[in-house]
Amino acid sequence: MTDKIKIFDTTLRDGEQAPGFSMNKEEKLGFAHQLELLGVDVIEAGFPVASRDDFEAVESIAKSLKTTEVCGLARCHSGDIDAALMATEKAKKPRIHVFIATSDIHLEYKLKISRDEAIKKAVEAIRQCKKHCDRVDFSPEDAGRSDRDFLVEILSEAIKAGADTLNIPDTVGYLSPAEFGDLILYLNNNVPGIKNCIISTHCHNDLGMAVANSLSGALNGARQIECTINGIGERAGNAAMEEVVMAIKTRPELFKARTGINTPLLLKTSRMLSSITGQHVQINKAIVGDNAFAHEAGIHQHGLLKNKFTYEIMKPDDVGWNETNFVLGKHSGRNAVLDRLNKLGIKIAEADVAAFMMKFKDLADGKKHIYDDDLILLTKDKNEEMYYAIKEMKVEAQTGKKATATIKLKAGGDVIEGKATGNGSVDAVYNAIIKVTGFEGVLTKFNVDAISPQKDAIANANIGWLIDDVEIRGRGTSTDTVTAIANALIDVVNRYRIQQQHEEGLSGV
């Protein structure tokens, strides 16, 4: 019987807070459902005190997941803990994760408190959590650069106060695998009462060692790994879940442990995250990159034909490669489409099937092959519910002349329209949208790519827009590139409008 290593996913918290990876509430909820299908043990759904959006996202995930623990992050402040307790209270298995920095540099310059005060705050915070929630993780932030004896002291007090999981973060990605493993072993051997707790790892990738450090932790007694899909996270990111999980699965004799991850869903989960955030993984990324199982070099192919294990240590099927590139088209019927959605883990309410099939047929009319990514995108297409949406758009562009865009927008129950010129089609369309909506700001990021590699692929536009000193990210898709770019700005305008409403609501409280 091998030990189980719990997988604690923090894609929606540590990952989502990194620039370029923000998601709205619906996207977070959809992704949380996918993580539950994938079989993760804990989902850190957000930092509830950070914003109303974060709170509501954690709350909706807590209410709707069936088997996975749902965790909220909190500093050792009673207001943070109240928010985390409230946001997770409806979860089948709620969990609170409290943290306080323990390295001297953080204590002195960030928190400006002594070691004794840090212990006192941690103990008070854990006790506050324990009054309402059985499951409590405690993290000594920047443990990688903290004094070991002080770590032993604060962790033993945390255990006495009721923490059941001790998460050891290498917050700045500083340690080497040997050092991190040694730290876990030291704590495992020296913290009184630790044998009744789970030791967890949280490793950052600043020196490219997050996965190696996490696995070294597991080899030295850690039984939970905090990680994210595609390794997203602050700065260079976190340990990539797909790599951690496949390393443990591929080398059972080494790790003598297993995870509960349903590995054939890894690729799909990775692609889903890319499609939500518009950030693709590099083609040579382990496990989920396009080249991860490609064997183009002649000598490799020759070897593979004789025995595939000559160059292949994992089966592509084990991470879901056989399931990709399933193609639907305009002759695909309702059953085929629903069956495919089912395999992708997406359920559509009976009442919404007819409307979904209309959207599918519309797309199939303009695009010959409908891939999984296209389908996933279609299920998320909620334009009609948004305040602003494009009804009609006409762009005239000619070499050497200014482009002209005429646009008609749905604005709530009304229709507004206008015309503008610009230096090229995109500039003209953006000027037209700004003119009719009265929205301001400056374009700060601009990226367009294709969802699938064909020439009739769906264009995927991601933009950043700076307004009131805050960057709002927007995303738009369409079979037409300029329309995709226009939709991305409309997305920004809608997000800004929602944000304004929230702020008005908050100021009244």
Which residues of the shown chain bind Zn ion in the complex (CB under 5 A)?
14
Residue with the shortest CB distance to Zn ion:
14
CB of 233 to Zn ion, least distance (A): 6
* Dihedrals phi, psi of 413, to nearest 5 degrees: -90, -5
CB of 436 to Zn ion, least distance (A): 42
Q: Max Cα separation, the chain?
A: 76
CB of 216 to Zn ion, least distance (A): 17
CB of 85 to Zn ion, least distance (A): 22
Cβ count within 10 A of residue 445: 14
CB of 344 to Zn ion, least distance (A): 30
Closer residue to Zn ion (CB): 200 or 494: 200
CB of 366 to Zn ion, least distance (A): 42
Q: Are 171 and 204 in contact (CB under 8 A)?
A: yes
Instruction: In whole angstroms, give the CA distance from residue 360 to residue 240.
Output: 33
Query: Crossing angle of helices 350-366/334-343, nearest 10°?
Result: 100
Q: Are 58 and 48 in contact (CB under 8 A)?
A: yes
Closer residue to Zn ion (CB): 14 or 372: 14
Please give the C-alpha separations between residue 269 and each of 29, 33, 37, 473, in angstroms, as whole numbers: 13, 10, 10, 22
Closer residue to Zn ion (CB): 205 or 275: 205
CB of 203 to Zn ion, least distance (A): 9
Q: Which neighbouring-strand residues pair with 97?
A: 73, 137
CB of 162 to Zn ion, least distance (A): 23
Closer residue to Zn ion (CB): 60 or 103: 103
Q: Are 494 and 387 in contact (CB under 8 A)?
A: yes
Closer residue to Zn ion (CB): 17 or 462: 17
* Dihedrals phi, psi of 392, to nearest 5 degrees: -145, 150
CB of 189 to Zn ion, least distance (A): 26
Closer residue to Zn ion (CB): 54 or 373: 54
Q: Are 199 and 224 in contact (CB under 8 A)?
A: yes
CB of 140 to Zn ion, least distance (A): 13
Q: Name the CA dihedral angle for 76, 78, 81, 83, rounded to a multiple of 10 degrees.
A: -140
CB of 204 to Zn ion, least distance (A): 6
Write out the DSSP string of 13-43: IIITTSTT----HHHHHHHHHHHHHHT-SEE
In three-state secondary structure terms, 235 is coil
Closer residue to Zn ion (CB): 14 or 41: 14
Closer residue to Zn ion (CB): 14 or 157: 14
Alpha helices in 108-204 (DSSP H): 115-132, 148-161, 177-190
CB of 18 to Zn ion, least distance (A): 9
Please give the C-alpha separations between residue 247 and each of 89, 201, 204, 241, 257, in angstroms, as whole numbers: 35, 16, 18, 10, 11
Closer residue to Zn ion (CB): 184 or 486: 184
Q: Which two tokens stand for residue 38?
A: 């994938």
Closer residue to Zn ion (CB): 8 or 439: 8
Closer residue to Zn ion (CB): 232 or 248: 232
Instruction: In whole angstroms, give the CA distance from residue 184 to residue 216.
Output: 9
∠ CA 444-442-465, rounded to 5°: 55
Write out the DSSP string of 70-130: EEEEEESSHHHHHHHHHHHTTSSSEEEEEEEE-SHHHIIIII---HHHHHHHHHHHHHHHH
Closer residue to Zn ion (CB): 30 or 173: 173
Query: Crossing angle of helices 148-161/115-132, nearest 10°?
Result: 30
